[in-house]
Amino acid sequence: MYQHFSQSTSTLANSNTYTLPKNKFKFFICSIRKNIIPITFFLFCICLILFSTTNLIAVKNALYLWATAVIPSLFPFFVATELLSYTNIINILGKYLNFIMRPLFGVPGEAGFAFLMGLISGYPVGAKIVSNLYEENKCTKEEAERMIAFTNNSGPLFIIGTVGISLFGNSMIGILLFITHVLACISVGILLNIIHNSHSKNSKISFSNSYKATNAPNKNVSFSSLGEVLGKSITNSISTILLIGGFVVIFSVIISIFNQSHLLDAISNLLKPVISIFNIPSTLIKPFLSGIIELTNGVNLVANLHFKEISLNIIVCAFLLGFGGFSILLQVFSIISKNGLSIRKYFIGKLFQAIFASFYTYLALQFLPFFHFNLY
């Protein structure tokens, strides 16, 4: 009996010997998953200290970019859209555009205002307008999440002016990128509507709900309240533009840290075998990854790569402009999260828009003679 007890005890001890490290490992993995955000923030603080010299230069460049490019191009549009929200112009446009927006995109006519202003002024004006429309009960939550995906776009000032003329030195390239950008966002809106209709069995109910929300009363500005309205519009616009400035600075620092730590180089080396299968130059990987993180920096790097086949640079830029980068994605998330709107459909929509934009650009470069930019 004693021998049997000792054997069982030794067996139990052996089992504990093998299971304990495994349990410890599982516990360690679970603790990392639970604390991944604090760990990331802690590592970010360490990197700020380790690469303080280059980070300082990145911050100065980001602030200069924000002050000279972002504020002049976006701040007036923010104020204008805030002022328009106190008038009946959105309701008027909603009535006239409902016959287009409802069958094509499955959203109320007021989305036409967000779509037009988002295209004219650029990121993230479309998301700000849609967020305001949802706050005023002019659309449902599901409609708002789809609207953000195709109304928040890069504007002609950036695509034609900055990318086409300044970076590529050719306005026709900018025009091509803007046309394919618009076609891509329209395609995403239609695609999301088709997916929604295929999954929704009670689309008539959602239509009636959104129609009632469309007819909700709107505030109307008068001369007596003009000063108050103007003050609120400027205050709200300053808050949004400061938020954007913060994201521009933070993501410029992140890219600087990635470069100094050679993390982008390591990822590029891992992706080189995959890229070589498609005969794509490996020098495109690092600029592409930079553009996925932050749009302006990535597009600048891609445009400055020297290939005889310039069409490759243009197609990659079309993809990056369609996606917008994680910097824009988090800007949008910071705007819509206060209303409880999900970022998931926006992220999926932007991936589709990047694919559509690059595909349309490829077709135009291949089959339209006046868009042949390659050097021979």
The 10s digit of each residue's pLDDT in 267-283 is: 888 888 887 777 778 88
- At 355 the pLDDT is 96
pLDDT band at residue 13, thresholds of 50, 70 and 90?
very low
Residue 214's pLDDT is 43
In this predicted model, which residue has the larger pLDDT, 32 or 360? 360
Residue 28 lies in a domain: no
Residue 220 lies in a domain: yes
pLDDT tens per residue, range 309-327: 778 889 999 999 999 989 8
Per the domain annotation, does 133 fall within a domain? yes
Burial letters for 296-309: b for 16+ Cβ neighbours within 10 Å, e otherwise? bbbbbbbbeeeeee
Q: Is the pLDDT of residue 359 over 90?
A: yes
Per-residue pLDDT at 227 exceeds 50 = yes
> pTM value?
0.79
Asked if the structure places residue 290 within a domain, the reply is: yes
- 344 within domain boundaries: yes
Residue 374 sits at φ, ψ, to 5 deg, of -65, 150
Joined tokens for residue 273: 């075998």
What pLDDT was estimated at residue 206? 44
**Would 223 be classed as within a structural domain?**
yes
In this structure, is residue 23 part of a structural domain? no
How many domains is the chain built from?
1
pLDDT band at 22 (very low <50, low <70, confident <90, very high): low
Range of the domain at 316: 50-371
In a domain, 26, yes or no: no
Share of the chain above pLDDT 90, in %: 20
Please list, in sequence order, all residues whose beta carbon lies within 8 angstroms of the beta carbon of residue 314, skipping any fewer than 6 positions away: 168, 173, 176, 177, 361, 365, 373
Identity at 313, one-letter amino acid code: N
Res. 29 pLDDT band, cuts 50 70 90: low
Q: Is the pLDDT reported for residue 168 higher than 70?
A: yes
